[in-house]
Amino acid sequence: MLAELNIKDFLSRTASNSPVPGGGSMAALNAAIAASLSEMVANLTIGKKGYESSEEDMRAIAKEASEYREKLVKDIDRDSDAYNEVMAAFKLPKHSEEEKNSRNQAIQKGLKTATLVPLDIAKDAFKIMELAGKVVKKGNKNAMTDGAVGAMAARTAVLSALYNIKTNLGSIQDIEFVDKITEQVRHLESDIGKKEKEILSTVILP
């Protein structure tokens, strides 16, 4: 399990000649980092003098961010597993027409899975960016930049996941599926830059 590796081993595995973990797993990792930072700022706000009015919101954010963090850690392996499923399908025999058809169906099924997993990651990362925006705005001012880094990590996660989706869409034969996913990708791409700019504009630096 990739998620069980320590940081040093995980980075070594990434740097190797193995195709996994790749960009999709990194998208999940960045989203998990964004969730962790949002959770941290929320926890640094709870119980602090002067933030009593924000405490209820911060408790809710900390809980939600924790749930996203745990889910996205699992997505590191989930994305790599989806990639491996596609690669296994490509290795299926293709001597007869029946084998060719079976192989193509397996490839198409794998490509859809390898598209839907990063789409989930992108959607979660966008929601985490919204959490980061809340902790930047209402959270402990001493940790404001940590929340901002969380927002930037979430943006990276969204865009990274979308790149993986676009790569797969070019090989998927189901036009209805492609059109549906493409529309969702467009919305996320359009909204993510605006959201980041909105959040970072509220960050006050010395």
- pLDDT single digits (tens) 83-121: 999 999 999 999 999 999 999 999 999 999 999 999 999
Q: Is residue 27 part of a domain?
A: yes
Measured CA distances, 44 to 4, 49, 164 (Å) = 27, 11, 35
Q: Which two tokens stand for residue 7?
A: 């940081």
Number of domains the chain is built from: 1
Q: How many CB atoms lie within 10 A of CB 155?
A: 23
Give the list of residues 6+ apart from residue 9 with CB closer than 8 angstroms, or none: none
Give the list of residues 6+ apart from residue 104 with CB closer than 8 angstroms, or none: none
The CATH number of the domain holding residue 162 is: 1.20.120.680
Q: Is residue 9 part of a domain?
A: no
Alpha carbon 66 to chain centroid distance?
Answer: 14
Compute the C-alpha angle 92/83/128, nearest 5°.
160
Q: What is the pLDDT of residues 18-67, one digit of tens each?
A: 999 999 999 999 999 999 999 999 999 999 999 999 999 999 999 999 99
Q: What is the pLDDT of residues 124-165, one digit of tens each?
A: 999 999 999 999 999 999 999 999 999 999 999 999 999 999
Q: Is residue 206 part of a domain?
A: no
Q: Is residue 139 part of a domain?
A: yes
Q: Which two tokens stand for residue 90?
A: 């490509």
Q: Is residue 145 part of a domain?
A: yes
Q: Is residue 123 part of a domain?
A: yes
47 φ/ψ sector (left φ>0, alpha ψ -120 to 50, else beta) = left
CA separation for the pair 81, 20 (Å, rounded): 9
Q: Is residue 8 part of a domain?
A: no
Number of H helices, E strands in the chain: 6, 0
Measured CA distances, 147 to 73, 193, 202, 203 (Å) = 19, 17, 11, 9
What is the domain extent for residue 111?
23-200
Q: Is residue 195 part of a domain?
A: yes
